[in-house]
Structure 1
Amino acid sequence: MLFCNEARYENQDFPALVHVYKLKYAMTTTILSPHFSTPDQLIDSLQMKGYVVVSPSVVSELLQCELAELERIKPDWDCLPIDHYLKDGGRYRRRRHSCFVVEGEEVKQTPHRAHWQPLEYNALHGGMKRMFEPISPATCNQLVWSKLLQAIGNICSKIKGKQPWFVEAHQFRIDTTDGIGRPTPEGAHRDGVDFVAILLVGRVNVKGGESRIFEATSSNGLRFTLTKPWTLLLLDDERIVHETTPIQPLAEGGHRDTLVLTYRANGFQE
């Protein structure tokens, strides 16, 4: 479904962003399913459209593992620390962050470092070093973790050539303890990398959380909701702007968990 990109807020101040979110998205209840690409369509679709959505079964095929292996890292989302850097003072986001270098079949974790983005890509939280707690060794040491980073790295290399990929991994839990949770408080944005991989880990007792992607050079976009755990949305960050709409609770304990992996050539953002 194409629609006019009315949600590019990266150059607006935060109060205006919140106001527009409340007006436009608070009552969103329609769930639109994405179009899933098959393994043989994946590379062509990513090259042609700048994005691809992959079903959990295809993710399992790409990793050459059962989905049960991915489920072994899922409990880690239950113990994420609160993100204390939110400029709206919110308590709705919990996260961990670690960095890796992926080259072919080799995955190396780097010394722990702060997450940094320029204001050009994150007008709300850019320009500041944010030091989050690292991802648990119990997760990073799982074989499936390396398989996941390798598999996506291989896709990136098929698009832009074989090379080391500098990967930042972000575990997110957006909860509804205070009534509303904002997966992307900065609004529609790019990350300043080559590729962005967004995996849905789970969503429990929430409405909203709609993925919206836009062509960076036009006002056209798509909207859909990721509902099945381990669905993968892979974006060419140079061509696609993205955001996720706020979530609201359907019952106590409502939350949405994701794993975001960014792949960048030639080093991490400094």
Structure 2
Amino acid sequence: MSHDRSDIAAKIQPEVPHAARIWNYWMGGKDNFAADRAAGDAVAKVYPEIVQMAVQSRRFLIRAVRYLAAEAGISQFLDIGTGLPTMQNTHEVAQALDPTARIVYVDNDPLVLVHARALLKSTSPEGVTAYIDGDYHAPELIISEARKVLDFTRPIAVMFMGVLGYVEDLQVMRSIIDQVVQAVPSGSAMVLWDGTATGEAVAEGSDKLAESGAVPYYLRSLEELAECFDGLNLVEPGLAPITHWRPEGEEKAPFIDAHGGVALKP
């Protein structure tokens, strides 16, 4: 999908803090503006763990994709709400294990689109990496576009990595998940994590994010997050803090107010 770069640039509003750029700042990236850094600092002042959450969320992604590619035998990934490229993106992790892996990224952030060309480079000649300019509020469009790249008769891993907290209504969130998961075949997987209402400091951080002018992030209870996996079979250790989901080696990361899991579709 081609994009007019001047049109994309016109949509970028440096003076308005934006979720993808704030997250990029917390992860130590350079694709952010002063407004994003100010919002990020306001959150980090009351909830310093947010920086660790950003880094640990990517480590969770890496471990989940490795599990799916190496152990579950899944070679197709639909990463919805991918954000700005950072360390070890989905296609890099998957194609390192399976050179034929096919990855479709979905995002509608204009700055992410500016980086799409870099993101589109597969790490193996046999693999495919594609990008859809789409909003998860339009799952039918995402599925329609993804069918052009992915084989929907074979298992697909659907990924929602910390992005559905921007959906206020839990039922809308579940509807988005259900529509995408229903479209993929048996043997497919869903990976999901979100920030959770498991502490006072993280709740204060969420309030500061909204006060900064950024899009509000709605923390979920563990019960609400568990509902999102209804009808799927969670793999061990089930719904867990992202730092505790299959840590590798001697990694002993602290508890983070973010929970997630990997589940397979019967």
Q: How high is the TM-score relative to the length of structure 2? A: 0.28
Higher relative contact order (CA 8 A, sep 6+): 1
More strand, by proportion:
1
User: TM-score, with normalisation over the residues of structure 1?
Assistant: 0.28
